[in-house]
Structure 1
């Protein structure tokens, strides 16, 4: 679901591409003088920043006076570039650029689906800035474990010979374009094969009826994370979207918990 939104601002990148974003400023401190974190939302594969979760959390943060930023990766939504030219590494660099140039102070990253992988890569790149994480159906390593490993020999051959596989999706009108470059670059970004050196409060919300990201992925991620402050909330009837009102309430609850943990006097 998307909503009509104001015209975004644009961040110019050195490669000439523009990243579309919306940034809402927040109060730097609360009434007790404690420093408040900002929130950065990271969307999914072929998703954009106008989705239900992104805008729901924005409204929630505005009510609390928290800085909130959402953006479109290059090749997504209102940002420049072609989706087929994108890779996990490129989109992670987009996220780091937004952290560096649009946000300030301590941050909590909220990553949905692919955004959960990007969230982890960005947090590893900017440990000094990232104070907490919330994953929503987080999908680290999905290009290898949930795509390549499940492709047929015919699909793998098509990617190798034609450079891309075009797959229909139930999440939009445009098919997924899974390029050879996406798969190859994904192998350079894999995280679940070794400990993930992040030591901050982390909450993971996962639907058990998710057809795209098995709930076991959240358990694998929990095992890989170095942080001892990791909790997983499994929603038995939840699908991949996790956009129903009660599911949004669960996500918001965990975000609030992380906000409280990282708000510093």
Structure 2
């Protein structure tokens, strides 16, 4: 369970680290006993117990275990369609500005921001998760656009990054921000591109990865593909015109804090 405290995300942890906030019945878990709470639970019953050789008589059902919370890090991962289209440059500039703005906010925290672009035949990690503004600025200076749209590769690459970060730190709070019109035309395998992309998108819902899809299709030509992709991911779908550094910061705070 994650809770919000001030500007940082906190999450309950089963490790013996973190701030002790309360206690609950230990049941079969006796590895992090809350002795103060256990004594309080047993105290009212001492007058009725005849264990003369014990200073305090404690029954198993009175044993309490500590509930701890730790401050966690957030991972915001941008996944951007860099294939050739009229909106490609607009997408890229909006994303660069949003990433740098977000990193300024995350600089003194433990938040990390990364970026995956997909174009031609595959996805590339152009910015591994970092909280360094300078590294991000250098990595984002020259991100080429053009080529086909390997949407499923972009989705799967981002999925792997999130799962890898979760293995390293099970308490990380991820958010994937996908900028696309929802149309893919390159497959990783033998499935039709669009079908494959929807199949990969379902992994996000199955693995409980929070995500937001920013629909880059012009409203007059919108085929509903981005919304369909968002539905499969279990994600919110926004319009590109609503995507700005300020809007992104509010969005990230809503999902991760």
**Shorter-chain TM-score category?**
0.3 to 0.5
Find the structure with the greater CA-based Rg. 2
**Normalized against structure 1, the TM-score is what?**
0.41
